[in-house]
A and B are shown apart, each in its own frame.
Chain A
Amino acid sequence: MWLDYPIYASVAILCWLAASGIFLSSGKKMLNQLAAGLSFVGTAFLLVFMLILWLRIQRPPMRTLGETRLWYAIFMSGIGLISYLRWKFKWLVSYSLGLAMVFLIINLQHPETYDKTLMPALQSPWFIPHVIVYIFAYAMLGASSLVAFRNLFFAPTDKIVKGPIQMADNLVYLGFSFLTLGLLFGALWAKEAWGHYWTWDPKETWAFITWMFYLVYIHYRFRHPSEHKRAMGVLAVAFVVLLICWFGVNYLPSAQNSVHVYSE
């Protein structure tokens, strides 16, 4: 099934490239609607691929790093589109489509074997909610960090950022609530699977560090609503920690033998 992936990915990438191009260049309402439609078509294509994959490999496609990247691309593009429809920030939808494309291209570079086995520990009703909630949170928080990076590097004064920073807050609150749920689902599942809800496994440790950084952002923003730059700095760092948690843990010496290291 992964052999068909280049076809689906190419269609999605073409749709998204066209959509981003139109979003960035045009001011016309009609054309923007066309771009929104195109980005939806791209996401829908990937979703179809995911559903076929799920049926073919007879297990939820959430086990390998490549599979999580695919979910991320789907959520990221979806969130970008929804934020556009809600807040009309065209740059955000273009950035998130860009980020989603990067993930699709990484997958093109690292083709997956389609392995049907699923180790018994992952065969649990918690598996799907745990992964989906997490990847959704990652996508929300990824979108918020796009706002942060833009504000840090492209917006010179605090005045310009007022609108986008509210959107960043909304994305962080949504993302953080999912992050918390993902963490707690994981704890409940771990208790059912091997008797302890929290073992400070390296992935758990890094997930907790990620959670703490967003906790800092939320508290800082709450107390200092007008200190935008510093808040955006926290948000940017938090995303780096998130990426370490997602990908970096596989390479950390402290993480050998972790149950969470994804199979490649």
Chain B
Amino acid sequence: MSKEISRKTWANPWSYREGSIVTAAILLLGFALQAAGGGIVLRVAAFPWNLIAGLIFLALLISAFMLWQKHPVIKWLGGIKAALPAILGFTFLVLLMGFVKQDVEPKSTLVRTLGLTHLVKTWPFILINLYLMILLGVVTLRRLTPFNFKNAGFFLNHFGLFLVLFSTALGNSDMQQVTLNCYENENEHNGLEASGKPTELPFEIKLLNFNIDEFRPQVTLIDNQSGQIVEQKGKGQYEMLDRNAIDLYNYHLEVEQFLETSGKVGEAYVTSNEPGSAPSAKVKVTSKNDGTVTSGWIYSGSYVNHPEALKLSDQYSLVMLPAEPRKFSSELSIQTNTGKQVTTTIEVNQPFHIDGWSVYQLSYNTEMGRWSNLSVLELVRDPWLPVVYFGIFLMMGGAAFLFITGKPKNGGNEHVA
């Protein structure tokens, strides 16, 4: 330690001091550039410029390593004394993101100037990423030459992370992400970017049918005075109407009839397929306190019809909540510009892939619920995805190595992951 204190800054071998200075300088430079640019949102150039820039970066990195691999600065770049301050610097930026809400309008000039509400698209973030990539690149090359199988775990972790950073940084500008509002039986050809700009797609999508499968609705008690849902410690607040006898607080419910889609006719509810029909149930409720029995209908209501509650006492009423979606799906007919024609059904977690695009089920008209004639789709094209995935799989392999070999023994000369 005393040797370290007496060493002059920038005299070889470099240590944490230089690491901290370099990291801090990068952050300061980044914020200065950001402020000088007036808080602009940055975007890496799109194909082919990003690919060219990436290849030049790799070429420079590898040739610099080949030429000067014995140089103490290159050794330092591939070591923990440069890496730890860099990791902390990056963590600092991500911490800022953890506290400042992202992707919103900045509230103050300072936040706007430094780009704190969209940090991932600012100079400091891009520069520190670049620096981390250099460190990861150098350390990977150092462990690769000469190659030794004992370094496999190390290689997987560090090179995997390098690839993920590299491909996400460069690929971001080639990614296209648009939403598409599809109404039943209408052809859609234009998606909307997040900015609101329309984008023409290389295919046409027609929504043949939109389907929702709902859970049975839940019932709960509300207070007649306040209209609030009753809460009691230690008791379940909601019960799902998926069986014939239910206990809710001090009431016993018997479901005499349940209609999945219904409307009111006179004093009762009948099955109906009119748009706006909603679930209803005829229930017999017995109070466990005084044995009073109340019978009647409850109705969850919809964008067309009012809900109906059942008054149980002066204090409480029984209400049915709107049914929640279990699954929603869209049957689509897709006609590509290249002449392909397919019919498919997509749902949440089950996208469809065609010509480099993925089609996701995003949303629908939630107010209309099961009667929605609108399906909102998201379409994403991400040509760099295979590289990102390759990086992710390498890191998974690396994690497996960490799990199997654990902490390196013999001062890290063996099985370093």
Interface string of B88-100 (1 = CB under 8 A from A): 1011001101111
Please state if B94 and A121 are interface contacts (CB–CB under 8 Å). no
Q: Which chain A residues lie closer than 8 Å to B388 at the CB level?
A: 197
Please state if B83 and A121 are interface contacts (CB–CB under 8 Å). no
Please state if B349 and A209 are interface contacts (CB–CB under 8 Å). no
Measured in the bound complex, the distance between the Cα atoms of B100 and A253 in whole Å is 8
Measured in the bound complex, the distance between the Cα atoms of B404 and A170 in whole Å is 11
Interface residue from A169, A178, A212 paired with B91 (Cβ < 8 Å): A212
Closest chain B residue, CB of each to CB of A244: B98
Total residues of chain A contacting the partner, CB 8 A: 56
Interface string of A190-233 (1 = CB under 8 A from B): 01111111101010011011001101100111110100000000
Please state if A116 and B242 are interface contacts (CB–CB under 8 Å). yes
Please state if A3 and B236 are interface contacts (CB–CB under 8 Å). yes
Interface residue from B98, B102, B326, B403 paired with A209 (Cβ < 8 Å): B98
Q: Which chain B residues lie closer than 8 Å to A200 at the CB level?
A: 97, 102, 120
With most chain A CB atoms within 10 A of its CB, the pick from B98, B328, B392 is B98
Please state if B238 and A194 are interface contacts (CB–CB under 8 Å). no
Please state if A193 and B91 are interface contacts (CB–CB under 8 Å). no
Interface of B is mostly: mixed
Please state if A195 and B348 are interface contacts (CB–CB under 8 Å). no
Interface string of B215-240 (1 = CB under 8 A from A): 10010000000000000011111101
Please state if A169 and B407 are interface contacts (CB–CB under 8 Å). yes
Q: Which chain B residues lie closer than 8 Å to A221 at the CB level?
A: 407
Please state if A184 and B396 are interface contacts (CB–CB under 8 Å). yes
Please state if B378 and A195 are interface contacts (CB–CB under 8 Å). yes
Please state if B349 and A124 are interface contacts (CB–CB under 8 Å). yes
Q: Which chain B residues lie closer than 8 Å to A213 at the CB level?
A: 91
B323 to chain A, nearest CB (A): 9
Q: Which chain B residues lie closer than 8 Å to A34 at the CB level?
A: none
Interface string of B72-94 (1 = CB under 8 A from A): 00000000110110011011001
Please state if A212 and B94 are interface contacts (CB–CB under 8 Å). yes
Measured in the bound complex, the distance between the Cα atoms of B101 and A256 in whole Å is 9
Please state if B233 and A254 are interface contacts (CB–CB under 8 Å). no
B327 contacts A by Cβ under 8 Å = yes
Please state if B349 and A176 are interface contacts (CB–CB under 8 Å). no
With contact pairs A177-B399, A194-B378, A195-B351 given, residues A111 and B233 touching in the complex (Cβ less than 8 Å): yes
Closest chain B residue, CB of each to CB of A191: B385
Task: List A residues 93-138 near B (Cβ within 8 Å).
Answer: 111-121, 123-124
Task: List A residues 168-196 near B (Cβ within 8 Å).
Answer: 169-170, 173-174, 176-178, 180-181, 184, 187-188, 191-196
Please state if A173 and B88 are interface contacts (CB–CB under 8 Å). no
A252 contacts B by Cβ under 8 Å = yes
Q: Which chain A residues lie closer than 8 Å to B97 at the CB level?
A: 200, 205, 254
Please state if B400 and A209 are interface contacts (CB–CB under 8 Å). no
Please state if A113 and B87 are interface contacts (CB–CB under 8 Å). no
With contact pairs A120-B349, A121-B348, A209-B94 given, residues A184 and B407 touching in the complex (Cβ less than 8 Å): no
Q: Which chain B residues lie closer than 8 Å to A121 at the CB level?
A: 348-349
Closest 3 CB pairs of A and B: A195-B380, A177-B402, A120-B348
